Structure 1
């Protein structure tokens, strides 16, 4: 595998070195792991397209991307409802 050099401030280098030491890996391995956790815009778009295609197959309806974009945020709404219920529950902090 070819390697390269990345220039960062001493503070950042020292911070990365400490994180790597705590995890028992090299700085290079740490940076690779951190980069792998952050998908690019293109990767997020690919994942979104694949997820939408899976939904279309499962429900058997050809929903357009525009229709997906206009659809309600169901999970977000569930979180809001749960938050309201938690606040209104007996014994909840005021």
Structure 2
């Protein structure tokens, strides 16, 4: 594998070196892991298209991208409902 050099401030280098050491990694391995966790805009767009295509097939509907954009945030709403149930169960105020 070819390698390269990147320039960062000493503070950033030291911070990354500490993180790498805590995780038992080399600095290069840490940077690679961090980069792999952050998708590019193109990768995000590809995932969104694949997810929407899957939903269309699974649900048997032919929704446009605009209709998906206007659709309610179902997962977000489920999280809100679950959080409210936890608060009620704990006796916390809403």
TM-score by length of 2: 0.89
Q: What's the offset of the Cα at 1:76?
A: 0.8
Note the C-alpha offset of 1:50.
Answer: 0.3
Aligned length: 93
Take 2:16 and 2:54, find their aligned partners in 1: how far apart are those partners? 39
**Cα offset, 1:80, TM superposition:** 1.4
The residue matched to 1:6 in structure 2 has which SS?
Answer: coil
Query: 2:13 maps to which residue?
Result: 13
**Offset at 1:88?**
2.6
- Paired residues for 1:10-89 under 5 Å: 10-89=10-89
Structure 1 length normalisation: TM-score? 0.89
Aligned to 2:92: 93
Report the 3-state secondary structure (helix = DSSP H, G, I; strand = E; otherwise coil) of the residue aligned with 2:12: helix
- Gaps (5+ residues) in structure 1? none
Q: C-alpha displacement at 1:62, in angstroms?
A: 1.1
